[in-house]
């Protein structure tokens, strides 16, 4: 597409953006969307002229032009609980048996009052650990075990879109942590927004 060097600035007036803004990714990107309409060559009309000639055809054009929304503070904050559990002395099935750990985690999710929507647990074979996740309507629980080191990573994240799920997440996290009985837990709590 070639544009004449002395072209009119009707599109600039229509959109209120300069060529420099268009080229630097301004919220309105007519250079991309209007490439076939706004050439300012002898055989094409500019967008502003086309809009004036056929306003009914162009009335919904703004729906396809991306306009950057003002920053809005998120109302649904979340809580992310993270644990590195060292020195775990627990039932060996929690460290080695994927189906046992999955059933245990899902039972703890239900007891905490959270909603499981799916899960996947994988065992790394004889003597190997387990990795698993329970997907929650509120977010997720993930767990990874290293039986050879007595080490477990635990991750519980909940959002608070329709209700405050912090107490439920804390209960879930504490129940699972207690089952592994770590001698040296390293715990982190992160507010997510």
CATH number of the CATH domain containing 84: 3.60.90.10
> The pTM is what?
0.63
- Catalytic site includes residue 140: no
Instruction: Say which of 116, 140, 144, 181 is annotated catalytic.
Output: 144
Residues 141 and 100 in one domain: yes
Give the separation between CA 94 and CA 103, rounded to whole angstroms.
Answer: 10
Based on the fold, state whether residues 58 and 150 are members of the same structural domain. no
Domain limit, last residue, from 22, 38, 63? 63
What is the rounded distance in angstroms from the CA atom of residue 29 to the CA atom of residue 63?
Answer: 13
Q: What does the alpha-carbon distance between residue 85 and residue 151 come to, in Å, rounded to a whole number? A: 6
Question: Do 24 and 50 lie in a common domain?
Answer: yes
Residues 111 and 185 in one domain: yes
Say which residue the tokens 């627990």 belong to: 90
Q: Hey, what are 140's tokens?
A: 């997720």
Do 88 and 50 belong together in one domain?
Answer: no
Residue 161, pLDDT score: 85
Domain boundary among 63, 88, 105: 63
Which residues lie across from 83 on neighbouring strands?
154, 187
Q: Give the chain's domain count.
A: 2
Per-residue pLDDT at 14: 42
Tell me if residue 186 is catalytic: no
- Determine, yes or no, domain membership for 2: no
Summarised one tens digit per residue, pLDDT across range 39-89 is 444 444 454 555 555 555 555 555 555 656 566 666 668 999 999 999 999
Same domain, 51 and 91: no
The low-confidence residues of the chain, meaning pLDDT below 50, are: 1-45, 47
Domain membership of residue 31 as a residue range: 10-63
Residues 32 and 106 grouped into a single domain: no
Q: Are residues 59 and 86 in the same domain?
A: no
Catalytic residue among 11, 40, 46, 139: 139
Would you call 139 a catalytic residue per the annotation? yes
| Same domain assignment for residues 59 and 83 | no
Cβ-proximal residues to 66 (8 Å cutoff; 6+ apart), any chain = 27, 28, 29
Q: Among 11, 88, 105, 159, which one carries the catalytic annotation?
A: 159
pLDDT of residue 48: 52
Q: What pLDDT, on a 0 to 100 scale, did the predictor assign at position 162?
A: 86
CA distance 36 to 33: 8
Q: Given this model, what pLDDT does residue 51 score?
A: 53
């Amino acid at each position: 597409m070639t544009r004449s060097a002395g072209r009119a600035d009707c599109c600039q007036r229509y959109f209120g953006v300069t060529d420099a803004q268009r080229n630097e990714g301004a919220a309105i990107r007519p250079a991309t969307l209007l490439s076939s309409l706004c050439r300012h060559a002898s055989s094409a009309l500019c967008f502003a002229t086309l809009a004036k000639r056929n306003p009914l055809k162009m009335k919904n054009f703004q729906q396809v032009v991306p306009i950057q929304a003002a920053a809005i503070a998120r109302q649904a904050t979340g809580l992310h609980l993270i644990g590195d559990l060292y020195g775990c002395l627990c039932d060996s099935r929690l460290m080695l048996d994927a189906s046992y750990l999955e059933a245990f985690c899902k039972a703890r999710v239900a007891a905490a009052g959270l909603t499981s929507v799916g899960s996947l647990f994988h065992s790394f074979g004889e003597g190997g650990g387990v990795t698993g996740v329970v997907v929650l309507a509120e977010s997720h629980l993930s767990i990874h075990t290293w039986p050879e080191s007595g080490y477990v990573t635990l991750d519980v994240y909940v959002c608070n879109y329709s209700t405050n799920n912090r107490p439920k997440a804390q209960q879930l996290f504490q129940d699972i942590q207690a089952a592994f009985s770590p001698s040296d837990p390293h715990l982190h709590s992160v507010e997510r927004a």
